[in-house]
A and B are shown apart, each in its own frame.
Chain A
Amino acid sequence: MEKFIKLTSTVVPLPIENVDTDQIIPARFLKATSKEGFGDNLFRDWRYDKDNRPIESFVLNNPTYKGEILVAGKNFGSGSSREHAAWALAGYGFKIVVSGSFADIFKNNAMNNFVLPIAVSDDFLAEIFQSVEKNPQATLTVDLENQLITNNVTGKSEKFTISAYKKECFLKGFDDIDYLLNKKEVIEAYEKRNS
């Protein structure tokens, strides 16, 4: 898995709250048996009309906004546990999602696919939207090592939280299964104690 340390990018703003995973990837696209190709259907019903024509007003169809960072309103990723939502975001090319808060299951799913969810304060989030509205070329810098996100227009930074374990996973490209597979003896000992 690709390692992640520091990233500066323009952003794609989506100032909508409570974006649920049914919007990120609608249920009818969950029928695949691999993890590939979900990016094409990211935000499908906001992005295309029923005749599959791009809806111009939707931000992913606006060539002004590009980047590896999606910035969305609070409570992003609510609803269904479908990991397909994380596969769709990763498949489209997003490496980071910034929001006021994230639904728990989505947060785990995103991290398990090396998409970094960063929760920021309401004020910091509002300022990002303002910066991008004024200048679509506005950038954010995310420094994972120091757990710092910077709005390069205002120069303001905010510290974000991530567990030391997960940070290590991102920095080194490990996943949870690699770790758990090394714990088989501990698991068997647990089972013995509780049988």
Chain B
Amino acid sequence: MGKTLFDKIWDKHVVTQVEDGPTQLYIDRMYCHEVTSPQAFEGLRLRGLKVFRPKQITCMSDHNIPTLNQELPIQDPISKKQVETLDKNVKEFDLEYYPVGHELNGVTHVVGPETGLSLPGMTIVCGDSHTSTHGATGALAFGIGTSEVEMVLATQCVFQSRPKTMRITLKNRLKPGVCAKDMALYVISKMKTGGATGYFVEYAGEAVKSLSMEGRLTLCNLSIEMGARGGMIAPDETTFEYIKGRRFAPEGEAWSKALAYWKTLPSDADAEFDKEIVFNAADIEPTITYGTNPGMGMGINDTIPTLEAVEESSRTSYLKALEYMGFQPGEKMIGKPVDYVFLGSCTNGRIEDFRAFAQIVKGKKKAKSVVVWLVPGSWNVVKQIKEEGLDKILKAAGFEIRQPGCSACLAMNDDKVPSGKYSVSTSNRNFEGRQGPGARTILTGPPVAAAAAITGCITDPRTIC
């Protein structure tokens, strides 16, 4: 029997198998950020250990950092201390570091792929659940906790139980005006928030193959939102073309050798998955969420499910979610006023997302009633925005571009949505309080966010183009 993409990479990285226990898996690359690493470095110090393979660790601050005036000291003393702790730790343990303001700084999951640090066939971890993003390059990438970060720092290995495999095939193509984020939100709305728990997902099918790398990164990014350990896509010409020439990508002979290996990675034709799920990509509409987990999503013109449509045992949780959001079962979302719009994060902070946003707002004006935060995912994205002249289009429409960071996705910095306000957000989570205590988040792709920024309400972007 053939092997899946997942099996091939997993099997190659098994160091030992503990009897009736986890697999000791070798990790090719780990990213560290300021929030989930301090206790891991402290653990090393307490045990008197060094970092085992410092060259395989890359660090950057992204979660806490301001998106305005980064050149000035961070105002919040606790955020400042956390960022400074990473400064100290990378110095003490001699690690590669992109501090605030560095030309390679940005959101970890944007920076890794765009610098060529994340490559097909690698095992990649980070103390962050959206590490699944890197799976779009054909890597086996997953989020870990801080104890596991410490394990990797100390031994370059983690203990993991082998997940089951699932293939999600999206046949046919997306309709015009529908993007990768819609595809992801659609899949999660069908799978529900815990529907892929215990599985590692491979995305396949014509709609996935025809996505750009940016789109694939968005799709894999959201895998965790249905509980999957990670998501991945077989490397192909789109992948190779994206990686070639990137800063840390292999060159010359090393490139040819790597390419030959990468081409062996896609799942064999006779490989079997523990679960196969098929969706028709042509069914997907621009998708939005109405509740407090990413599985509570629907087509933008649909109505919020009635109570009768929800399983009886889940009704208490369902009503709690709608009460938090201030919505009624059975009502439409279209036309509802919004207060904030956020474009950015590891989900939608890439150049393609800014292109999509700019295309819709071009020649129009920002709604006065809406506060809009446009936060590029990295300094490299900022550079591309300028090179392509998107900054001029956005400025003419009344928008300003901020500096890179995780920003309002989890509101650890000053970019907080006030209590009770509605935020149309291209990020990844609509949990209660995610964008600030009491904030009400509606997840969408960049086109719906752009339409809301222009009209001040939930709008189908296809009706204003």
Tell me which residues from 158 to 177 in chain B have a Cβ below 8 Å from any Cβ of chain A.
159-161, 163
Residues of A within 8 A of B314 (CB): 17
Taking a contact as CB atoms under 8 Å apart, the answer to whether B20 and A15 are in contact is: no
Taking a contact as CB atoms under 8 Å apart, the answer to whether B18 and A33 are in contact is: no
Flag whether B303 is at the interface (Cβ < 8 A).
no
Taking a contact as CB atoms under 8 Å apart, the answer to whether A31 and B82 are in contact is: yes
Taking a contact as CB atoms under 8 Å apart, the answer to whether B12 and A181 are in contact is: no
Query: What 1/0 mask marks residues of chain B from 169 to 205 whose CB sits below 8 Å from any chain A CB?
Result: 0000000000000000000000001100110000000
Flag whether A26 is at the interface (Cβ < 8 A).
yes
Among B24, B295, B431, B432, find the residue whose CB has the most chain A CB atoms closer than 10 A.
B431
Taking a contact as CB atoms under 8 Å apart, the answer to whether A181 and B15 are in contact is: no
Flag whether B412 is at the interface (Cβ < 8 A).
yes
Flag whether A139 is at the interface (Cβ < 8 A).
no
In the A-B complex, list the 8 residue pairs whose CB atoms are closest, starting with the nearest: A165-B21, A75-B194, A164-B20, A109-B145, A112-B147, A83-B145, A33-B38, A81-B143
Flag whether A45 is at the interface (Cβ < 8 A).
yes
Taking a contact as CB atoms under 8 Å apart, the answer to whether A180 and B154 are in contact is: yes
Flag whether A50 is at the interface (Cβ < 8 A).
yes
Residues of A within 8 A of B431 (CB): 20, 22-23, 79
User: Which stretch in B103-111, B337-345, B391-399, B433-441 binds the other chain?
Assistant: B433-441
Tell me which residues from 49 to 86 in chain B have a Cβ below 8 Å from any Cβ of chain A.
49, 52, 63-64, 76, 78-79, 81-82, 85
Residues of B within 8 A of A50 (CB): 419, 437-438
Q: List 12 A-B contacts (CB under 8 A).
A: A20-B431, A31-B412, A33-B81, A34-B38, A45-B432, A83-B127, A83-B145, A109-B145, A163-B20, A177-B151, A183-B157, A187-B155
Tell me which residues from 1 to 55 in chain B have a Cβ below 8 Å from any Cβ of chain A.
12, 15-16, 18-22, 24, 26, 35-36, 38-39, 42-43, 47, 49, 52
Give B47's nearest chain A residue, CB to CB: A177
Within the complex, the shortest CB–CB distance from A49 to chain B, in Å, comes to: 10
A139 and B354 alpha carbons, distance in the complex (Å): 55
A108 and B147 alpha carbons, distance in the complex (Å): 9
Within the complex, the shortest CB–CB distance from B315 to chain A, in Å, comes to: 10
Number of interface residues of A (CB under 8 A): 56
Tell me which residues from 41 to 99 in chain A have a Cβ below 8 Å from any Cβ of chain B.
45, 50, 73-75, 78-83, 86
Within the complex, the shortest CB–CB distance from B246 to chain A, in Å, comes to: 23
Within the complex, the shortest CB–CB distance from A91 to chain B, in Å, comes to: 13
Flag whether B129 is at the interface (Cβ < 8 A).
yes
Also in contact, A27 and B438, with CB within 8 A (given A83-B36, A108-B145, A176-B159): no
Residues of A within 8 A of B198 (CB): 104
Residues of B within 8 A of A184 (CB): 155
Within the complex, the shortest CB–CB distance from B52 to chain A, in Å, comes to: 8
Flag whether A166 is at the interface (Cβ < 8 A).
yes
Query: What 1/0 mask marks residues of chain B from 325 to 347 whose CB sits below 8 Å from any chain A CB?
Result: 00000000000000000000000
Residues of B within 8 A of A18 (CB): 193-194, 293, 295, 317
Flag whether B423 is at the interface (Cβ < 8 A).
no
Within the complex, the shortest CB–CB distance from A192 to chain B, in Å, comes to: 12
Binding site for B on A (CB under 8 A): 15-18, 20, 22-23, 26-28, 30-35, 45, 50, 73-75, 78-83, 86, 101-105, 108-109, 112-113, 122, 126, 163-166, 175-177, 179-181, 183-184, 186-187, 190-191, 194
Taking a contact as CB atoms under 8 Å apart, the answer to whether A75 and B227 are in contact is: yes
Taking a contact as CB atoms under 8 Å apart, the answer to whether A163 and B22 are in contact is: yes
Contact among A73, A81, A176 for B129, CB-based, below 8 A: A81
A112 and B40 alpha carbons, distance in the complex (Å): 13
Taking a contact as CB atoms under 8 Å apart, the answer to whether A81 and B432 are in contact is: no
Taking a contact as CB atoms under 8 Å apart, the answer to whether A17 and B433 are in contact is: no
Taking a contact as CB atoms under 8 Å apart, the answer to whether A16 and B433 are in contact is: no
Within the complex, the shortest CB–CB distance from A46 to chain B, in Å, comes to: 8
Also in contact, A186 and B15, with CB within 8 A (given A20-B293, A75-B193): yes
Residues of B within 8 A of A176 (CB): 147-148, 151, 159
Residues of B within 8 A of A22 (CB): 410, 429, 431-434
Flag whether B236 is at the interface (Cβ < 8 A).
no
A112 and B197 alpha carbons, distance in the complex (Å): 19
Give A80's nearest chain B residue, CB to CB: B129
Also in contact, A163 and B157, with CB within 8 A (given A28-B411, A187-B15): no
Residues of A within 8 A of B127 (CB): 81, 83
Query: What 1/0 mask marks residues of chain B from 100 to 135 whose CB sits below 8 Å from any chain A CB?
Result: 000000000000000000000000000111010000
Flag whether B463 is at the interface (Cβ < 8 A).
no
Taking a contact as CB atoms under 8 Å apart, the answer to whether A73 and B317 are in contact is: yes
Also in contact, A31 and B16, with CB within 8 A (given A74-B194, A83-B146): no
Also in contact, A113 and B147, with CB within 8 A (given A20-B431, A22-B434, A83-B36): yes
Residues of A within 8 A of B429 (CB): 20, 22, 79-80
Flag whether B350 is at the interface (Cβ < 8 A).
no
A131 and B225 alpha carbons, distance in the complex (Å): 32
A18 and B295 alpha carbons, distance in the complex (Å): 10
A154 and B396 alpha carbons, distance in the complex (Å): 69
Taking a contact as CB atoms under 8 Å apart, the answer to whether B145 and A81 are in contact is: yes
Also in contact, A34 and B437, with CB within 8 A (given A22-B429, A181-B155): no
Flag whether B144 is at the interface (Cβ < 8 A).
yes
Within the complex, the shortest CB–CB distance from B357 to chain A, in Å, comes to: 25
Taking a contact as CB atoms under 8 Å apart, the answer to whether A31 and B145 are in contact is: no
Also in contact, A105 and B20, with CB within 8 A (given A27-B410, A177-B150): no
Flag whether B229 is at the interface (Cβ < 8 A).
yes
Residues of A within 8 A of B157 (CB): 180, 183, 187
Within the complex, the shortest CB–CB distance from A189 to chain B, in Å, comes to: 9
Also in contact, A103 and B197, with CB within 8 A (given A108-B144, A108-B145): yes
